[in-house]
């Protein structure tokens, strides 16, 4: 669940609401980047199918061994996590007559389009659309994360759709609670210098501490991020930590190369990430101007709000709806606006403190796992 926080939030939420949830999982050992590589290089498909066949064999075995296969312990519903376009077919075969819930957080067509692999036309596009449609047909309930994604479902599927926001896991709220207790050493309104591993430790120069965590896809808009960091090269009031790798990582890093106050990490262990993010004042969301970027609220925005960070992200309808006045919004793809927003927060500690409190409050009110699964439970899948 650490590799797929969305699944973790759903499981945590259902359990917190009183449902019994048993997990049967065999990791595919092929991340999203690997799946995209298959789209770019179709000759890799046999490798994917081989890995999938092995996983399915183990899933069948473990499912049949599991205690809920007994007659006195029936299954009320089966939840297939996102990227489960093929697994939903297996679930339908293993659990005939049982409601199947598919988390359709990510579509095959949408992923290909966002990664620059076509607009859904041609042979590849038709194949991906068939994969999406086939998965949706086999689900009794389809979970999506925003109203925009619901509207984008095929008309025949829309009445089976339920909007369940991504939310944040309990570990992110715990990290935020620790930050609130420790807040803050040094500086007005909680401003602090570079932090050590245990909190905000005061140092020689007060700086705004900013963090970005992402996969460097076009959705994240990291080319915009890199260019914005370059505009801050001469501004000693802002220091930035960037975590992750991916498609646009090199371009982002090259663009920001002139800024000496950017620290780069390829990876932070998932168990350490909530506390790592919570040690920063500001967390960056997404800045892409793709179609997909305008329809999502990224996981990291929910997580950073729970961790008590101020949020700076792109001005899109779903993010406005999720965050309200608890974030600072900039136009998608706008380099100068992003740089100006960070300078503004560096120069206004009082506003920074208000945004941090507002983000944390918004998270506590609406982003807990038990809260975000409420629409699914109201649908009757319990």
Q: Give me the domain span that covers residue 302.
A: 170-366
Question: pTM to 2 decimals?
Answer: 0.86
**16's tokens:** 């917190």
pLDDT for res 29: 66
Chain segment 158-188, per-residue pLDDT in tens: 999 999 999 999 999 999 998 877 764 443 3
**Calpha distance 278→198 (Å, rounded):** 10
What does the mean pLDDT of the chain come to?
Answer: 86
Among 41-55, 251-265, 299-313, the range scoring the smallest mean pLDDT is 41-55
**Calpha distance 219→221 (Å, rounded):** 5
The answer to whether residue 283 scores a pLDDT higher than 70 is yes
Residues 50, 198 share a domain: no
List C-alpha distances in Å: 302 to 120, 293, 333: 30, 15, 21
Chain segment 354-370, per-residue pLDDT in tens: 999 999 999 999 999 99
Region 344-363: mean pLDDT is 97
Higher-confidence residue of 196 and 211: namely 211
Chain segment 290-327, per-residue pLDDT in tens: 989 999 999 999 999 999 999 999 999 999 999 999 99
| CATH label of the domain that carries residue 157 | 3.40.50
Residues 127, 180 share a domain: no
310: Cα within 13 Å, side-chain hemisphere:
24
Residues 361, 216 share a domain: yes
Residues 220, 103 share a domain: no
The answer to whether residue 19 scores a pLDDT higher than 90 is yes
User: Model confidence at 47, in pLDDT bands (50, 70, 90)?
Assistant: confident
Region 122-135: mean pLDDT is 83
Q: How many domains does the chain have?
A: 2
pLDDT for res 14: 96
The answer to whether residue 132 scores a pLDDT higher than 60 is yes
Q: Which of 267, 356, 241 is nearest to 306 (CA)?
A: 356
Residues 204, 338 share a domain: yes
Residues 194, 295 share a domain: yes
**Calpha distance 49→17 (Å, rounded):** 37
Residues 200, 162 share a domain: no
pLDDT for res 183: 61
Residues 113, 18 share a domain: yes
pLDDT for res 109: 78
Residues 177, 92 share a domain: no
| CATH label of the domain that carries residue 330 | 3.40.50.2000
Residues 174, 163 share a domain: no
Residues 161, 176 share a domain: no
Residues 19, 152 share a domain: yes
pLDDT for res 2: 56
Region 93-107: mean pLDDT is 92
């Amino acid at each position: 669940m650490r590799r797929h926080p969305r699944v973790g939030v759903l499981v945590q939420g259902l359990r917190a609401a009183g449902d019994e949830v048993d997990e049967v999982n065999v990791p595919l050992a092929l991340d999203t980047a690997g799946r995209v590589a298959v789209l770019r290089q179709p000759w890799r498909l046999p490798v994917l199918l081989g890995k999938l066949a092995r996983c399915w064999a183990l899933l069948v075995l473990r499912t049949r061994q599991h205690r809920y296969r007994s007659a006195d312990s029936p299954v009320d519903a089966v939840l297939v996590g996102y990227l489960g376009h093929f697994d939903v077919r297996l679930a339908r075969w293993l659990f005939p007559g049982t409601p199947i819930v598919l988390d359709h957080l990510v579509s095959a067509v949408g992923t290909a389009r966002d990664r620059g692999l076509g607009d859904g036309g041609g042979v590849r596009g038709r194949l991906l659309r068939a994969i999406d449609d086939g998965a949706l047909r086999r689900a009794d309930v389809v979970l999506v994360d925003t109203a925009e994604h619901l509207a984008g479902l095929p008309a025949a599927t829309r009445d089976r759709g339920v909007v369940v926001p991504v939310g944040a896991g309990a570990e992110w709220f715990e990290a935020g609670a620790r930050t609130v207790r420790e807040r803050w050493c040094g500086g007005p309104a909680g401003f602090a210098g570079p932090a050590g591993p245990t909190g905000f430790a005061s140092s020689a120069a007060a700086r705004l501490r900013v963090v970005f965590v992402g996969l460097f896809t076009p959705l994240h808009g990291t080319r915009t991020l890199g260019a914005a960091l370059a505009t801050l090269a001469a501004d000693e009031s802002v220091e930035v930590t960037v975590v992750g790798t991916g498609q646009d990582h090199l371009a982002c890093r090259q663009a920001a190369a002139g800024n000496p106050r950017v620290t780069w990490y390829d990876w932070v262990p998932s168990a350490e990430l909530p506390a790592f993010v919570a040690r920063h004042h500001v967390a960056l969301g997404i800045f892409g101007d793709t179609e997909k970027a305008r329809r999502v609220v990224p996981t990291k925005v929910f997580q950073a709000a729970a961790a008590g960070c101020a949020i700076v992200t792109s001005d899109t309808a779903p993010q406005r709806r999720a965050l309200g006045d608890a974030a600072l919004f900039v136009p998608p793809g706008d380099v100068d606006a992003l740089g100006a927003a960070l300078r503004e927060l560096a120069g206004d500690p009082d506003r920074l403190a208000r945004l941090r409190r507002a983000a944390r409050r918004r998270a506590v009110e609406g982003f807990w796992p038990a809260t975000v699964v409420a629409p699914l439970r109201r649908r009757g899948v319990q």
